[in-house]
Amino acid sequence: MAARKSGLGRGLDSLLPVDRPQAGFSNIPLELIDPNPQQPRTLFDEEALASLAESIKAVGVLQPIVVRTLEDRYVLIAGERRCRAARLAGLTEVPAIIQGQEVDDTGSLTEALIENVQREDLSPLEEAGGYQQLLEDFGLTHEVVAQRVGKSRSAITNTLRLLQLPAAIQFMVGNGTLAAGHARTLLAIEDEAYAVHIAERVVEEGWSVRQVEDAVRKRSTPTKSGPARVKPPRPAAIIELEDRLGERLGTAVQISHGKRGGKVSIRYASLDDLERIYRLLS
C-alpha cells in the first residue's frame, strides 16, 4: 500500500517558502540525509521502529523531519526515528522542514507548524502528528501547545492518544471511516487483534460509541462462577488525580489506593514512549 501524503506536508508547503531548493518544506530523498553527529542516542528499540514503520505504511509520515543543508546533502536535526522507520517501510523520500546553512529560526518553524495544526482540513491523526512534533522536536509541553492552538489540555492529550493505536486502526481514522471518538475507546483493549476486529465491526455495522464501550467492557470483565463481588466506589479525588496525571503524561494512568498507601500504574506504548514520559517526569 502506498503511503499517503501527509496533510501536514500540504499545510507546511503553503506556510513555508518552497521556491528555494535549499530552504522551506519539501520531500527529500532519504539517501541524501546524513545523521546528526551530535545525536546522543545510538540504540533504538527495534520493536518500536517496526511498529512505527507499519504506521507509516498505513497513513504515511505524519511529522516532517527537520534537516539543515550542508553543500549538496542534508544533516538531520530532528526525526531520526522517522527516517529509520521510513526506510523500514520502503519509502525513498520523506517530508522535511529544511533550514539553510546560515538559518536557525526555530521559532518561525514552530509558529508555522502551530498555524498548520489549526487548519480545519486536517484529519485527527494528522493533527495528532502535529502535536507530537511540537512536543518532541520543538520541546513544547502539553500546556503550551494547548495555549498556542487555542484548545484545552485534555483535547491535546486525547488527540495524541490516537498515535498509540495499532496501524490498521490508524489507517481507518486517517481515511475517515472510523471516528476519533470510537478509536480512542479502543485504546482500553490490550489485545491489538481484538481491537482491530472491533474497529472493523464498528465500520461495517455503524456502531455508536456506547456500543464500542460495551464491547470493551465485556472484554475487560472476566467471567467468574458464583456471586459477583461488588467493588466499593472509588474516591473522587483519586479519579481526579488519575485524570490530571493522564493529561500531563499523555497516557493512561491508574492509581490503586489502600489504607497503607498504594501504587501508580502508567501505561506506555513503546520504549520511546516510556522515554518521553521519563523526560516529562524529570
Residue 97 bridge partners (DSSP):
25, 66
Question: Which residue in 80, 115, 136, 192 is the catalytic one?
Answer: 80
Grid cell 520523506 — which residue? 94
Closest by Cα among 56, 52, 81 to 66: 81
d(CA 24, CA 142): 26
Query: Is 80 one of the annotated active-site residues of the chain?
Result: yes
Torsion of CA 188, 191, 194, 200, to 10 degrees: 60
Answer yes or no: are the C-beta atoms of 173 and 148 closer than 8 Å.
no
Closest CA to 153 of 279, 267, 273, 247: 247
Active-site residue set: 80
